[in-house]
C-alpha cells in the first residue's frame, strides 16, 4: 500500500470528539442494486478526565474512527463530558450531581483517567469512578496482559505471555466496611473487613470460566485460604461447585503469594486468572509490568448481564508528571477501545485494531516509556497506518 493511501486514513485532530457520528467516510457510494446491512449504532459516553487521560483518549478515538471507516457497518455516536479537575474548578464538584442518570442510557463509557493530586485529593476525584463501577454493577474487571513482539519485558526469559486477569470489582477487600475508633490516640483501633458473598463469588467465577472457554481453557483462581480461612475458604468452596459446570476448562487454585512468584517464573503458563478485588488489583499491575508496562495495559469494567453500560479505560492514571508533554503512550487507551469494540460485538474491528497495534510494536514503534522517541500522536499514526493491512 502506498503512503498517501495510508496517511489518508489519519483523520485531522480537529474532528475528534464530535458529538454524533464520526463521519470519515471515503468509501464509494453504494450502488442501487446492493442490499445494505442495517447500520449498527452505538452511543458512547466519552469521559476523558484529567492529565494524560485526555491526550490518550483523543488518540484512541482517532483509531476507532479509522477502523469504523475501514470495516464499516457500524457507527459510534459520541457524547463527550468535560468532567474532572477543570470542571471542579468551575463548578465546585468533579461531576454534576446527576452524572449517573446521564451515563445510564449509553451503550458504553470510554474513560481516559481521573485525578490530579495537585488540584484535588484522589479520594475526591475518584468518587465517580467507584460510583460508576458500583451503581452500574460492573462486577467484572478485565485486564488482559500480552507480551507483544518487539516489546521488552523486565523478565529474563518471559516466554509467550498472553493472559487475562478477571478481577472481582464489587465487593471483597474493597467493600467499604469497617471503622476507626479512638482516632489519634495510642490505643486507636482500625477495623477493615472484607466482604465476600456466595452470589458474588459464583457470578465472577462463572464469568471467568466462560472467558476461559473463549481462550485456552485454563483457569487459575487466586486464594489464600491457608491464612484467610473464612472469606477465601468460601472462594475455594464455590470453585469446587462452579468448576463442575465447566468440565471442559482445566481449573486450579494458587495462593496469592505463589501466583505472584509464578507470574515472574512461568507467566506463559497462565491463561485466565480470577481473583478477589485486592489480589486482582495487585496481580494485574504485576502482569502489566512484565508485559511492557503500564502504558500498554488496557482494562474493562463490565456488567456481564448488560443491564447497565460497561466502562473501558487504560489501567494507568492521569500521570501528572508527563501530562501536556505529548509523550504519553496511547496504546493502553487504544487497546481499551478494542476491548470496547469487542464488548459491543464488533469483533472484526476489535481484531483489526489489535493486529495494527501488534504490527506497530513489532516494527519498533515506541514512545519514551518503551525506550523510543515517538510522540503520542506519532505512535497513534503508526497504529492507524497498520489498520489497512490488519484485515482478517
Q: Which residues bind ligand ATP (CB under 6 A)?
A: 52, 56, 115, 294-295, 316-319, 321-322, 328-329, 332, 369
- Cβ of residue 320: shortest distance to ligand ATP, in angstroms? 6
- Cβ of residue 324: shortest distance to ligand ATP, in angstroms? 13
Cα separation, 262 vs 260, whole angstroms: 6
Q: How far is CA 354 from the centre of its chain?
A: 14
Set of cell numbers at residue 387: 489498520
Burial of 221: CB neighbours in 10 Å, binned 0-12, 13-18, 19+: buried
Residue 253, phi-psi category: left (phi > 0), alpha (psi -120 to 50), beta (remainder): beta
- Cβ of residue 297: shortest distance to ligand ATP, in angstroms? 9
- Cβ of residue 129: shortest distance to ligand ATP, in angstroms? 10
Cα separation, 224 vs 220, whole angstroms: 13
Strands (E), the chain: 20-21, 40-49, 74-80, 108-113, 140-146, 162-168, 178-181, 189-192, 218-223, 250-255, 272-275, 298-302, 310-314
SS3 category, 377: helix
Q: Residue 109 phi/psi, 5° resolution? A: -115, 130
Q: Pick the closer one to ligand ATP by CB: 71 or 356.
A: 356
Q: Pick the closer one to ligand ATP by CB: 316 or 359.
A: 316
Q: Pick the closer one to ligand ATP by CB: 140 or 332.
A: 332
- Cβ of residue 328: shortest distance to ligand ATP, in angstroms? 4
- Cβ of residue 118: shortest distance to ligand ATP, in angstroms? 10
Question: Distances from the Cα of 377 to the Cαs of 48, 63, 124, 319, in angstroms?
Answer: 16, 11, 31, 17
Is residue 382 within 8 Å of residue 374, measured between CB atoms? yes
Cα separation, 370 vs 366, whole angstroms: 5
Place of cell 468448576: 243
Burial readout 296-335 (b: 16 or more C-beta within 10 A, e: otherwise): bbbbbbbbbeeebbbbbbbbbbbbbebbeeebbbbbbbbb
Q: Pick the closer one to ligand ATP by CB: 153 or 262.
A: 153
Q: Pick the closer one to ligand ATP by CB: 34 or 321.
A: 321
Q: Pick the closer one to ligand ATP by CB: 95 or 318.
A: 318
- Cβ of residue 319: shortest distance to ligand ATP, in angstroms? 4
Q: Pick the closer one to ligand ATP by CB: 147 or 366.
A: 366
- Cβ of residue 115: shortest distance to ligand ATP, in angstroms? 5
Q: Pick the closer one to ligand ATP by CB: 115 or 200.
A: 115
- Cβ of residue 367: shortest distance to ligand ATP, in angstroms? 6
Angle between helices 331-343 and 52-71 (to 10 degrees): 50
- Cβ of residue 360: shortest distance to ligand ATP, in angstroms? 15
Is residue 53 within 8 Å of residue 114, measured between CB atoms? yes
Q: Pick the closer one to ligand ATP by CB: 211 or 329.
A: 329
Size (the chain), residues = 392
Q: Pick the closer one to ligand ATP by CB: 75 or 289.
A: 289
Question: What is the SS3 assignment for 94-108?
Answer: CCCCCHHHHHCCCCE
Taking CB positions, which residue lies at the least distance from ligand ATP?
A: 317
Amino acid at each position: 500500500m502506498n503512503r498517501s493511501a495510508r496517511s489518508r486514513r489519519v483523520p485531522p485532530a480537529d474532528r475528534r470528539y464530535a458529538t454524533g457520528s464520526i463521519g470519515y467516510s471515503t468509501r464509494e457510494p453504494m450502488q442501487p442494486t446492493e442490499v445494505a446491512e442495517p447500520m449498527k449504532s452505538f452511543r458512547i459516553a466519552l469521559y476523558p478526565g484529567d492529565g494524560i487521560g485526555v491526550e490518550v483518549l483523543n488518540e484512541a478515538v482517532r483509531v476507532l474512527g479509522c477502523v469504523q471507516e475501514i470495516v464499516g457497518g457500524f457507527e459510534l455516536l459520541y457524547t463527550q463530558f468535560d468532567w474532572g479537575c477543570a470542571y471542579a474548578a468551575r463548578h465546585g464538584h468533579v461531576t454534576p450531581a446527576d452524572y449517573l442518570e446521564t451515563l445510564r442510557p449509553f451503550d458504553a463509557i470510554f474513560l481516559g483517567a481521573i485525578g490530579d493530586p495537585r488540584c484535588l485529593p484522589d479520594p475526591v476525584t475518584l468518587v465517580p469512578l467507584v460510583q460508576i463501577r458500583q451503581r452500574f454493577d460492573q462486577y467484572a474487571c478485565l485486564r488482559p496482559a500480552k507480551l507483544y513482539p518487539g516489546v521488552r519485558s523486565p523478565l529474563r526469559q518471559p516466554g509467550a505471555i498472553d493472559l487475562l486477569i478477571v478481577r472481582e470489582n464489587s465487593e471483597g477487600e474493597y467493600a467499604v466496611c469497617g471503622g476507626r475508633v479512638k482516632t489519634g490516640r495510642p490505643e486507636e483501633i482500625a477495623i477493615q473487613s472484607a466482604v465476600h458473598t456466595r452470589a458474588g463469588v459464583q457470578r465472577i467465577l462463572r464469568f471467568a470460566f466462560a472467558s476461559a472457554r473463549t481462550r485456552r481453557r485454563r483457569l487459575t483462581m487466586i486464594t489464600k485460604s491457608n491464612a484467610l480461612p473464612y472469606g477465601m475458604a468460601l472462594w475455594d468452596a464455590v470453585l469446587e461447585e462452579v468448576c463442575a459446570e465447566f468440565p471442559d476448562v482445566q481449573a486450579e487454585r494458587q495462593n496469592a503469594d505463589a501466583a505472584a512468584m509464578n507470574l515472574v517464573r512461568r507467566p506463559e503458563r497462565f491463561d485466565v486468572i480470577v481473583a478477589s478485588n485486592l489480589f486482582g488489583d495487585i496481580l494485574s499491575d504485576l502482569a502489566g509490568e512484565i508485559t511492557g508496562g503500564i502504558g500498554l495495559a488496557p482494562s474493562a469494567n463490565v456488567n456481564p448481564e448488560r443491564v447497565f453500560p460497561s466502562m473501558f479505560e487504560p489501567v494507568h492514571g492521569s500521570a501528572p508528571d508527563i501530562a501536556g508533554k505529548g509523550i504519553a503512550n496511547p496504546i493502553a487507551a487504544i487497546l481499551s477501545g478494542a476491548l470496547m469494540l469487542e464488548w459491543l460485538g464488533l469483533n472484526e474491528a476489535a481484531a483489526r485494531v489489535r493486529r495494527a497495534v501488534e504490527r506497530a510494536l513489532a516494527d519498533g514503534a515506541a514512545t519514551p516509556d518503551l525506550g523510543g522517541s515517538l510522540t503520542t500522536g506519532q505512535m497513534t499514526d503508526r497504529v492507524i497506518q497498520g489498520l489497512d493491512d490488519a484485515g482478517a
